[in-house]
Amino acid sequence: MPNASAIAPTLATLAADLATGRTTARELVEACLDRIADPASEGASAFTRVDGASARRAADAQDALRQANAAPSPFAGIPIAIKDLFDIQGEVTTAGSKVLADAPRATADAPAVARLRRAGFVFIGRASMTEFAYSGLGMNPHFGDPRAPFERAAGRVAGGSTSGGAVAVADGMAHAALGTDTGGSCRIPAAFCGIVGFKPTARRVPRDGAFPLSTTLDSVGPLARSVACCASLDALLRGAEPQTLPPRPVAGLRLLLPTTLVLDALEPEVAEAFESAVARLSHAGARISAEPMPELAEAMALNARGGFSGAESYAAHRALLAERGAEYDPRVAVRILKGADLSAADYVDLLAARSRLLPRVTARLAAFDALLLPTTPILPPRIADLATDDAAYGRANMMALRNPSLINMIDGCAISLPLAGRGGAPVGLSLAAMADEDSTLLAIAAGVEAVLAGP
């Protein structure tokens, strides 16, 4: 399976085609809608709602503005999928759950959604997700389990929680997706579906109007087909104008490859693809240091009893769980309920422990430009192996989340780039840096992407 970024257009390509008249917004939307409606596609499980009429009207409006030289941005008219936990004015935000189906309609767009709308993106549909964003696998008993492109007939998970958005981009049902990332929810599905996923610094993009999982760790980020696509979307999401992204040369980069935790129990295809990528980067002149990073073990320990997600999700859900708990996905409910076991003192201790950890992580990384690690240690598991086996589901979920969740805990930013493993197996390579180093990280990722795409 070639990665999606190698076979499908980037936002820059689409913008150029729109500018020169080689395509129109209406044509792009019709192609995405056709793909969604194709019975052989994952459209039925990748979206919780598609409003073709609204998307066509928006596309026609952007085409008219472009003809009048009044397009709001070069990306005006490009179809994008919106994760189902974001408010869209006039729609119900279900967050992948049936218990919110009768909730009031949103009275305004979430800020992230509003910024994409102002740029002229066409909302092709609400992308499906793990219920309430609480899993790294992407399975959902209410709306179905979108399948990753790899070995689709066998049925492998797409990764969570932004499962539908990743599948939509990989399959050409949208050209980008808006997601969130609390412990890997942009990066895991990107890795499992062969695309790029970016987790910005948590405070970089407003999280208002997005149903929360963890008010401490939630981040709003894009999934797309290239680093440059993600950089453009990130700029718009933080309220800035997209700029050309100059790749930072790989030669001379100082990369820390931690030997603590992140290389443990790699599946063979992941190990082979990652080691090959590391060798290519080293050959291109990167100075890669493989050494222990004990702070990562401390970060993992902070999540042992559910961490911030457990405590903060329970605070958000306890009333709804008491009233309608039987309607939740049981695998999500059990994780939320773990938060009930954390006392106020436990939560204060957690905050203090993280505050003590962050300066030591910053000091550890001071001599390096970025961290380098596998996005996940595993390939996307088979849905059939997890469907009725809670223990297998729990193990797979823990492994999928293990590496990416460490970056959220250390308040970092991170990006997952696609690698093609043996037999086309999807593998993710992650680069990470500390908070507010997002722009530098994106430039580094663009340079790494170029090396990995080379012969």
Can you point out the beta strands (E) in 20-88? 47-49, 79-83
Q: CA 222 to CA 214: how far, in whole Å?
A: 18
Q: Which helix (H) or strand (E) holds 373?
A: strand 370-374
**Which among 73, 128, 163, 185 is annotated as catalytic?**
185
Burial of 318 (0-12, 13-18, 19+ CB in 10 A): middle
**Which among 161, 214, 219, 405 is annotated as catalytic?**
161
Q: CA 87 to CA 210: how far, in whole Å?
A: 6
- Residue 289 designated active-site: no
Of 447, 440, 377, the C-alpha closest to 405 is 377
Query: Using alpha carbons only, how large is the chain's radius of gyration in Å?
Result: 20
- Residue 45 designated active-site: no
Q: CA 162 to CA 29: how far, in whole Å?
A: 21
- Residue 199 designated active-site: no
**Which among 5, 83, 219, 232 is annotated as catalytic?**
83
Q: CA 235 to CA 439: how far, in whole Å?
A: 9
Sheet with strand 287-291: strands edge to edge: 47-49, 122-127, 79-83, 177-181, 219-224, 196-199, 412-420, 426-434, 370-374, 254-258, 287-291
Of 396, 425, 382, 389, the C-alpha closest to 154 is 382
The Cα-based distances of 143 to 98, 173, 333 in angstroms read: 9, 17, 17
Positions marked catalytic:
83, 161, 185
